[in-house]
Structure 1
Amino acid sequence: MSAFPQPTDGEPLDFHTERDEQSRSWTRARPNAALIERFGRFGYKVTLRGGEDVHYCALGVEEDKYIGRCDCKGWKYHDGPCAHLCTLRKAAFIGLIDVEKTDGSPGDEHEMRQMTGETFDGERFDGAIERAQEEVCHR
């Protein structure tokens, strides 16, 4: 079982349901019309056609099942994968990207969270925590 939190009940990303139900996320996902830039082992920057914002996604394969996350509101507030993750899945299917395998280890989990800006390494994160603590103490 994966160490990665999932959008609904802890299961891997269910792209089959998105496809079968022709969800809004699935129909918006057009990898040939999107800008996809890889960074890091699991990280992708995705901009959909007609979208103004770049979204940071992480996608990996664990035991032949896709796992991932995104920094968009669709990922945060809705069940199932967002349009950005659906775009990456379609891009993998047609050979535009190669999705890396993960073993579900805490190190891989941390790396995926870094790709979506949920965690930071080093001074930047520590400095932000210290400033927030100082502000609370001075109130």
Structure 2
Amino acid sequence: MGITLLSAEKIIQAAKEKCGEMNVKMNIAVVDAGANLVAFVRMDGAWLGSADIAVKKAKTARYFDFPTGEIGKLSQPGGSLFGIEHSNGGLISFPGGIPLKDGSGNVVGAIGVSGSTVEDDHAVAEAGVAALN
């Protein structure tokens, strides 16, 4: 089963709760297995410029079924994926995007979070991932 609107809303709610605990304002995007946007929220006060980044983080995580921070490590100068962020209409290769997997380990979508430090973005994305499981 793929990501439904109901499951995307649960993921976003868990991510928003984590934002509350951390006192940060975020943009949170959930895409399905086809990297199509299913749900998005821009919390009051979240950076407007981070909206696009959150969606691109989610799509990047789904396109490659890899956390965006891991892609970033491989895309540094001299790395095997150097320049990859210029593909697919623009990718984001720093933390905050994580694939979403079903109970059998199949990738069914991804979450992307942006609006604070990349460490905070990743922590909020992890909270969203945990809500799916």
- Where on the TM-score scale, by shorter chain, does this alignment land: which range? under 0.3
Which of the two has greater helix per residue? 2
The TM-score, its normalising length taken from structure 1, stands at: 0.25
Q: RCO (CA 8 Å, sep 6+): is it higher in 1 or 2?
A: 2
Flag the structure with larger Rg.
1
The TM-score, its normalising length taken from structure 2, stands at: 0.26
